[in-house]
Each structure stands twice: as structure tokens, then as C-alpha cells.
Structure 1
Amino acid sequence: MQDLKTLGHMDIDWNLSPEHAVTMYLEWGNNNWHAEYPPVRSKDDYSTYFVVDTWGPRPVVRLVRRNSEAAEDIYSAPLPERLANRFLAEFGDLRGIYEPTLEIKEWLRHEMGLA
């Protein structure tokens, strides 16, 4: 597993949710030019953002780099037990891809040496 500190140089969009990413990259034309996230113009446009994946037995945090052609996981690791338990207490056992909570974002920034 890659150390989060090695990713501190990356341009991460901390406010991009999985829903916004789908709107931008998979549902072309579904958002307008005046939105917080305007439509992408080419496959050279990309975003890098964190998600929490709950499809497995425990929540996993992933750093995703996405453009209109593909999404690549740059980093993937189980959430620490304390954060995983708090996340599950809030969202239950629903399976899906979620935006990290503020607490998880703070932990990520700390682990990356940004806070």
C-alpha cells in the first residue's frame, strides 16, 4: 500500500463528490457551464478526488483520477477501524460509493501532511 504522504503533491479536488464526477464525466451535457463543476471539454480534462467504497466487508478509501474515458484508483486502503465504525454508524450497511465525511477528509489531509 502506498503511503498517503507521497500523494501530498497531487491536485486533489476535496469537494468533488462521486455524484458530481458522474455528472461531469459520464453524463455529458447534464450540467451547465455556470455550475460549480462545468462540463468537461475533452478527454484531457481530469479530476482527482477521494471516495469511500462500502461494497466490500469494510469501508475502503480510494483516491480516484477520472476523465471521460476511465477512472483509475491511485490509492486504496481500508479506513482505520475508528473511522470505519463512525462511517458505518452514520450510513448503515448500505453498499455504494460515497463522498468522504469531513472527519475522513481531515484524517486524509493529516496523513498526507497537509494539515
Structure 2
Amino acid sequence: MSKQQREKLEVETMAFQKLQKEYSTLIETRQKLESQLQENELVDKEFKLLKDDARVYKLIGPVLVQQDKPEAVANVDKRLEFIRGEMKRVEQRVEQLAKEQEKKSVEIFKLQMDIQAISQA
């Protein structure tokens, strides 16, 4: 096995590991976003059950501060929009990384097979 082939295999393996690390980080991010989405959707449903003149409070640090219902609803709507946008972006990157991982895996496998064939010759 040549030094050049070993180095190429090492570089490809490290690149693959980097892709795997980013992939797992994105999966964690997606899970957090899904949790935030569910929480905010629940708040949005609760707001729809309230009367227009209902008092709404927002927790800021250790203090509950009264907030206008329309303002609170608008804030939750903006948060939902943001979370959905982030989820879409993360999902696209997850798909892209999955494809890149597959390509890298095939490259590594071919290199290993080439090295093995040379070793046996």
C-alpha cells in the first residue's frame, strides 16, 4: 500500500467523520426546533380559545408582565414562522449531508478495496 493511498484514505475518512458530526448536530437542532414548534403551536391554540379582552401575561425573568393579546398573538405567529423557516433550512441541509455522506462512504469503500487488491498482489 502506497503512502499516497494511505494519506488519501485518511483524508477521506476524516472528511466523512466531519460530515457525520455535522449531521448529528443538525439532527439535535431539528429535534429542538420540533419541540419549540409544538410548544408554540400549543400556545397559539390556547390564544384562539381566549376572549379578545382576556389578560395575557408574559414571563420575563422572574416577573410576569401584562401584554396585549394582539401583541402576544403576533409574537407567537412570528416565532412560528421563524421556527418553520429554520426547520426547512435544517431539513434541506440534513438531506444534503446524507447525500454527501453516501458519496464519501462509496469513495472510502473504493479506496479500501483498491488498497486491499494491491496488498494481495
| TM-score range relative to shorter protein | under 0.3
TM-score (norm 1): 0.21
Query: Of the two structures, which has the highest relative contact order with CA contacts closer than 8 Å and spacing of 6 or more?
Result: 2
Q: Which has the larger radius of gyration?
A: 2
